[in-house]
Structure 1
Amino acid sequence: MLSESSSFLKGVMLGSAFCALITTLGRVGTGHGSGRHHEHHHLQAPNRDEVGKIAEDERVELSERFRVYCIILVKPQDVSLWAAVKETWTKHCDKAEFFSSENVKVFESINMDTDDVWLMMRKAYKHAFDKYSDRYNWFFLARPTTFAVIENLKYFLLRKDPSQPFYLGHTAKSGELEYVNVEGGIVLSIESMKRLNSLLNAPEKCPEQGGMIWKVSEDKQLAVCLKYAGVLAENAEDADGKDVFNTKSVGLSIKEAMTNHPNQVAGGCCSDVAVTFNGLTPNQMHVMMYGVYRLRAFGHVFSDALVFLPPNGSVND
């Protein structure tokens, strides 16, 4: 009984310490360039006029340069969502892999042998870096309830340098800690992946907090690790300042816009170059694929300056 009480108290103390760490991290300098002013809290996509001025040969080079590796974290209870994601938007990733909490025979996945999402996320990032750091320059992580338009992600990243420490999506705050909300998806540049990988074996800076009494969400724990590495959360917006990573579904976003902006429902809802929506059912995933990739207005000529072609084998667009 005494040993059980001792273990409980240790758990309480460790949990309190980590919560305190998250609260105070916003006040301390980062590991790379401590004391440097954080200059770009809001990152914006290029506008169409800017893209239209790019020379033709540079457009071709840009459209071929971007290589996005997609990480989807799943659990056995997500099987129907898993199937929908596999059949829809992930075919537009340059490579997509599913990381599961346990072995599921129905689908091909990488077994993480844990149902703790933070530990799954850590292992997935390490696997991705160890195996693909020389092949991909952007790494996108999502839940199986998320729908992503990968071409819009590449458009957003058009003028971003993957050799710089970018960590972006839809930002939120917890005390002094600013983090990217996993509900909208998380994007890391290859430089951010390098820095994160260097900390995964440093528990004093990037602790494995699986099984703590007070659970801290995986996106906040990631932010703690990245902040130590000098990588800060950036909110991704279009040229008009609208979020492009959405933590809600299209339907809910439109419903809110009808209430809050009844005279400009479409304009008040979502960005024209939105990257993600979250909270979708399997059927809604397929409806999104129809709206984004299949529905066309015949006779209308699209004048996009850039074309991001999906990888070979993507037959659903």
Structure 2
Amino acid sequence: MAFLTGVGKTHVTTLFIGIFIGISVSFMWKYTESSGRLLSYEYLPISPHSHGENDKLAGPKDSLVWDDSHSHSHSGENRSVANDLYNKVRVLCWVMTSPNNVASKARHVKATWGKRCNILLFMSSKRNGELPAIGLEVEEGRNNLWAKTKAAFKYVYAKHLEDADWFMKADDDTYAVVENLRHFLYDKSPTDPVFFGRRFKPMVKQGFMSGGAGYVLSKEALTRFITKGVDNPEICRMGGGGAEDLEMGRCLERLGVEAGDSRDELGRERFHPFIPEHHLIPGILPKDMWYWKYNYYPAKQGKDCCSDYAITFHYVPPNMMYVLEYFVYHLRPYGIETAKDRVPKTSFNNEGVPAQSNKSRESRKEKLLNGDSVKLQERLNFDKHVDKLQQDSEKAYSSEKELLDAKVLIPKTTVKSEIDEDNMIEKSKLL
């Protein structure tokens, strides 16, 4: 009491308020540090070349594995087109990671989208036999990503040039729908010098592709990069410094490799530098953010942000990898025939080529006339094969529907008009 009298009530009150604030701040700091989950949604990169911001976000202790292929929602799937594209459009994916991220991030890529690549490689500065990860002879660190990128593509060229037609680079916090990548690439020739991704525009005349959103090189683009560019100081930057994606864009432009347009027929993007929420919800990305100035094409938010056949999203923490995996490959709306494994008729003309790809179509005809016809003729034949598979799929769906109708317990006479009306609506949507 003597102590309290000497100090005064005001000082005591101030002391207790200070203790309360200190405890509260400590608790919040500990919670944020231990979970880290708030940061994945609130974080906005200050630079288009930012890396490693999700490194502290831990995923599940064990990789999640779905074992539901026997269930009726999967047993009725028709993956004929996807399987044919797997063989016809061979994609090698190499994922940039680091020794510290092998357990926390890279293994979750392997457990989700990575397994759908024809070849999946993880590139690190230290070999890991369990993942496995290839140990490149480069120093680790965010300031050395250009060196790691050059070394990775050198390895791919030396070991796997003939094993794939397209070569995609992605980060260990990138999520990719590889089937959609093949769907996008299948009418394009890997012998053309071209690369695709999320196209940014500053500092490179034709633009460069966002590293985090992932980019894919044709076989010819990779060949030019390795044989004519990577060790030529007049074409590519020497050393390990510099922004990896920007330096790649500069180098490929000097090599005559075209920066391709990866948007769909509605002008919606396929490669995305952020998580879905940041693209889909207007207002999350500040108006004064670098993102709006960097896009080569006018950037959109909301329903027009993203193609129905989107390929990648970036800054995806490990937990969200599995959320996207579930929504893309497992969740089904009952009673609706999905088109994820089918080639949409409205996107193709009578020759089996996307209607908007006039330049590509003319290029293919010109090459056929010039005698470069072997692989291109195979692709034209494949177009016809896809049509046949789609027709078979529609017949199988009709047969299955007839069987289901025969088992319906509700008297058909009471609901026939409603069913007919619903079927007409659904058919009109598909057509």
User: Does the pair score TM above 0.5?
Assistant: yes
Identify the structure with the greater strand proportion.
1
Question: Between Structure 1 and Structure 2, how many residues are aligned?
Answer: 244
CA distance, structure 2, for counterparts of residue 259 and residue 129 of structure 1: 38
* Structure 1 residues 12-68: Cα deviation after superposition (integer angstroms, max 9, x where no partner): xxxxxxxxxxxxxxxxxxxxxxxxxxxxxxxxxxxxxxxxxxxxx999865631100
The 3 A distance-change label for structure 1 pair 62 and 81 is closer
* Structure 1 residues 241-280: Cα deviation after superposition (integer angstroms, max 9, x where no partner): 11100001012222237899xxx98623421110000111
Contact 1:140 1:188 in 2 (8 A): yes
- The answer on 1:229 being equivalent to 2:258 is no
Task: Choose from 294, 302, 317 the match for 2:330.
Answer: 294
Q: Map 1:96-107 onto structure 2 (within 5 A).
A: 96-104=120-128, 106-107=130-131
- The answer on 1:163 being equivalent to 2:163 is no
CA distance, structure 2, for counterparts of residue 117 and residue 154 of structure 1: 27
Secondary structure (helix, strand or coil) at the match of 1:108 reads coil
Aligned-pair distance for 1:76? 2.1
CA distance, structure 1, for counterparts of residue 285 and residue 198 of structure 2: 22
Structure 1: 5+ residue stretches without partners: 1-56, 308-317
Structure 2 counterpart of 1:209: 239
Structure 1 counterpart of 2:154: 126
Contact 1:73 1:99 in 2 (8 A): yes
CA distance, structure 2, for counterparts of residue 278 and residue 181 of structure 1: 10
Runs of at least 4 residues off by over 4 Å: 57-63, 257-260
CA distance, structure 2, for counterparts of residue 81 and residue 174 of structure 1: 30
Q: Map 1:55-204 onto structure 2 (within 5 A).
A: 64-79=87-102, 80-104=104-128, 106-114=130-138, 115=140, 116-177=144-205, 178-198=207-227, 199-204=229-234
RMSD: 2.6
CA distance, structure 2, for counterparts of residue 255 and residue 86 of structure 1: 29
Aligned-pair distance for 1:107? 2.7
Structure 2: 5+ residue stretches without partners: 1-79, 287-299, 344-385, 387-431
The 3 A distance-change label for structure 1 pair 281 and 239 is same
Contact 1:248 1:277 in 2 (8 A): yes
Contact 2:204 2:249 in 1 (8 A): no
CA distance, structure 2, for counterparts of residue 248 and residue 59 of structure 1: 26
> Could you state the TM-score of these two structures normalised by the residue count of structure 2?
0.53
| Partner AA of 2:222 in structure 1 | M
Name whichever of 106-115 and 296-305 sits farther off: 296-305
Identity of aligned residues (%): 31
Aligned-pair distance for 1:102? 2.0
| Partner AA of 2:157 in structure 1 | F
Aligned-pair distance for 1:184? 0.8
* Structure 1 residues 96-118: Cα deviation after superposition (integer angstroms, max 9, x where no partner): 00000223465311101322211
Contact 2:81 2:342 in 1 (8 A): no
Aligned-pair distance for 1:208? 2.0
| Partner AA of 1:74 in structure 2 | T
Structure 2 counterpart of 1:282: 318
Secondary structure (helix, strand or coil) at the match of 1:123 reads helix
Instruction: Flag the structure with larger Rg.
Output: 2
The 3 A distance-change label for structure 1 pair 257 and 266 is same
Aligned-pair distance for 1:290? 0.2
Identify the structure with the greater helix proportion.
2
Contact 1:256 1:269 in 2 (8 A): no
The 3 A distance-change label for structure 1 pair 257 and 242 is farther
- The answer on 1:271 being equivalent to 2:272 is no
Aligned-pair distance for 1:220? 1.1
